[in-house]
Structure 1
């Protein structure tokens, strides 16, 4: 489907598995600035469907940190856990179209099949399609998977504003992927596509760690009759040993309750520099006055300006 030409709607969608760290701030700042440059709407969505990883109170801490940084979202914040009927309706549509099947494979079985296929260490674990034509005798359904196209139809290409042209063969690069997990939780790929479609998101600005997910989401959008938004994936922030900053790698919160001036120096200015913005403000209000035109200049330098 064509990229939508509707008025700009962007979003920041953190998971409440802990407080925001510098990597989260970079993604939030980029999406906020992009909305401001395009005179658009900036939405806040809490992606809290992975209930086992949610940390009590983290969602409200995220909201407070964004506000302390001077980033104010439009309308009311939303929580994925309050939108479950939307995901169920999307799944039913996919099932009615014959695109979903039950999978009885465990993670170990998939891992073993990858090893047998001599996939290099660190390579993508492509689902081999074991249950595509039905569960084997004695197998119990675990997850629900979405059939991906085969052959020439499996290639999905798009232009990322930061990284330029991208292409992925869904069949050889991913395989049939999960839309509902074995524990009953909704899969990220389905939920994010449904939410972006329901909220009318026209441009997705997020970390480059999700660049590889984009073709799956484009395919899901096509299967659900949703328009394609534009995409801009900013570089991720790494720690001293080259790991992406995350809660799993022990990333620390950037907001420790320090005064606004200290937050500016310790978080906002470093995040702006990471994005290549020349901002030298001495207070939060001046920071955003400078950062918005600086982001417009940064966009003009990117491979795919939009």
Structure 2
């Protein structure tokens, strides 16, 4: 497979996953803002969302006021923001067009129809009354895409690079969501209703609230939330589940290339092993923020190594 083809497939997976992650983040933050009375707390919720999505520097450059309307517009539809939902859909479709013959009909239709419907959005789409329906639509379209490639692609190189991009983006998102809320999980913020809303928000951001209740059968507890999202392999969006799939996928690609391996394989194995043999007690004791920051930095390095080893011509 040409490196340019692998690159397009990898970024197709990443952009579709990113669109869904941003939709979840916006849904959760809208809910938090409506339940949080103090203005400064609402502003902090929107600021945290920008940080988790990696869009805080770009938003700051716009000079716009930190408000719900401005952040929603920037994360949902701003063409100057390469990570906005509509920008992600546009980029995903562009990558899909480049590798059209490598995709199944169901995959192409999922991406192309999403792009076509996305182009019909207007300013009214992002008003408070219409925004929830738009975000639900984005989530359903990304789930449709994930199902299309999971159910219809041959388990070959093309599938491997789409899956690699999806899992890489998902792992990064989970780590960032946890990191921006690490104070709520580390017990350094006030308790009570505000903390409980934040704990729910963390779980909802990765569609894991019901999973928590199923696994623990108890009230929300910050250490258990961290354990679920970091170390429980049965949760599809947990960090350990994502890195297990990243390592497995990279191993599969290596096998197709006669066993040729690079630094990306070592890093993926190291990151998975760190989680596999980790204990939540040790993570919390050593500092949740420090652990997550180190993971995010290692993830950036892993992405760089994947790019250099497989995706550059």
Q: TM-score range by the shorter chain?
A: under 0.3
Task: Give the TM-score taking structure 2 as reference length.
Answer: 0.28
**Structure 1 or 2: more strand by fraction:** 1
Which of these two proteins has the greater Rg computed from alpha carbons?
1
Greater percentage in helix: 2
